[in-house]
Amino acid sequence: MQSQAKKPIRVRFAPSPTGALHVGGARTAIFNWLYSRSKSGKFILRIEDTDKSRSTGEAIRTILQGLEWLGLDWDEGPNVGGNFGPYHQAERLHIYQEHALKLYRSGKTYKCYCTPEELDAMRKAQEKRKEAPRYDGRCKNLSRAQLEKFGMEGKPCVFRFKIPETGTTVIDDLVKGKVEFKNELLDDFVILKSDGFPTYNFAAAVDDNLMEISHVIRGEDHLSNTPKQILIYQAFGFPLPAFAHIPMILGKDRSKLSKRHGATAVTEYEKQGYLPEAMLNYLARLGWGYGDEEIFSREDLIKKFSLDRVVKTPAIFDTEKLDWLNGHYIRKSLPERIADLAEPFLMEAYPDIKKMETEKTGLNYVIRVVKCLQDRLRVIPDIVPLSEFFFKDVSEYEKAAAEKHFKDPNVSETLNKLKEKLSALKNFDHQSIEGAFKGLAEELKVKLGIIIHPARLALTGRKVSPGIYEVVEILGKEKVVARLERALDYLKTKD
């Protein structure tokens, strides 16, 4: 049975650096981080880099980058240190080898000399008999003479763990409840490979004990690994941690989350213009809930997070909901911050911004544009199409809007008088601009919309834009007058 003894709260996130930090791993890291912070515990980062062929330094860097972007700080681990290091498994090989020998000497493991070809033939024979593929234990009872012979020949071997032939292994899971596995259905699995590197289940169990991990919180795809790790704990006489297997994340079509559902690497979401607080909030809500609340600050999440609110059913990744949440956080952010994030996208789309920056007007202009459009953004790149008329001259007018707002026979006179009034303004600010529009409406004895709609089309080329006074003020007198003159020239060609 799982130990319920009180321990200091110590949880770990232990990614394998074979690729970037993906959504599922990020959510696991968030749940561990929140649990540790909610319990005044420790959050440990451990890099499980024993897969020599697939682990890379670049993957480690992107994982750390993703965690840092989300604001998940670790108390022990790479770049931080701690009393239980090293925190890279590739630097702990001697520890696993010592523990493997200890189990071997106690008779709880055995050396297996089967070649890959023999194992492949074994699997094929089992499949032909419609049996579940598993090691048949043929090396479990090798005689001392055979072992000595293989040793003298230098024949490579692995260490296999002896699974009890009867009984059950029970997981008292904090999310899924009691889960039982029949030992007879488990395989005598390898714990140490012939090159001296450990397998995942063995290294994870040894490290979780040595690092005094109190709670193992991970995806339910690891549930099948847990009985093997429990058996390793029991073989050593280690106290068991608490286990919590959190639900899988699926796409809206309820299939396994993949790139076709959108970007799955956290760093890709950063590049696509999502804010870290939005991503943290959204991922924390995938498989965990607090009533009907959707929006949580970092402090709220720490205060309210608990494992008993983690659901058992799969979580559905909904990009539309993430976009909505991201829009909320964009609206709550300082315009200067959003301008800083938007500037690379704008500079790529509108190279003239670089010239504006050399004239020391660019950043201020971008901030003013952001303030004008901020409430309309769901992701940062949305600003590029929305702001086009602020950075490029209007070369054409929306057809339907032109047919509606440029068809009035008096529209040329209206726009010409507006140009004159705006040109005459000494203070080109919101109040003065609004006064010019309203004054012209009174002078012409028309509704304000008769002036605003064709003016908006002339200045933006669009039927819809932010408030016209704000647009006029940001564009500035020179651009506004030039665009009104161009619209008047356009209208002459339509007469």
Catalytic residues: 259
3-state SS, one letter per residue, for 244-271: EEECCEECCCCCECCHHHCCCEHHHHHH
325 vs 275: CA distance, rounded Å:
10
Which residues does 153 contact at the CB level (< 8 Å), separation at least 6?
none
E strand or H helix that includes residue 484: helix 477-494
Cα–Cα distances in angstroms (integers) from residue 78 to residues 48, 49, 96, 276, 381, in the given order:
12, 12, 20, 22, 33
Q: What share of the chain is helix, strand, coil (3-state, %, to 5)?
A: 55, 10, 35
Listed in order, strand segments (DSSP E) in 118-188 are 158-161, 168-173, 177-182
Cα(283)–Cα(297) distance, rounded to whole angstroms?
A: 13
Q: How many CB atoms lie within 10 A of CB 290?
A: 16
Contact, 165 vs 157, CB < 8 A?
no
CA R_g for the chain: 33
Angle 468-475/430-444 helices, nearest 10 degrees? 120
Contact by Cβ (8 Å): 242, 6: no
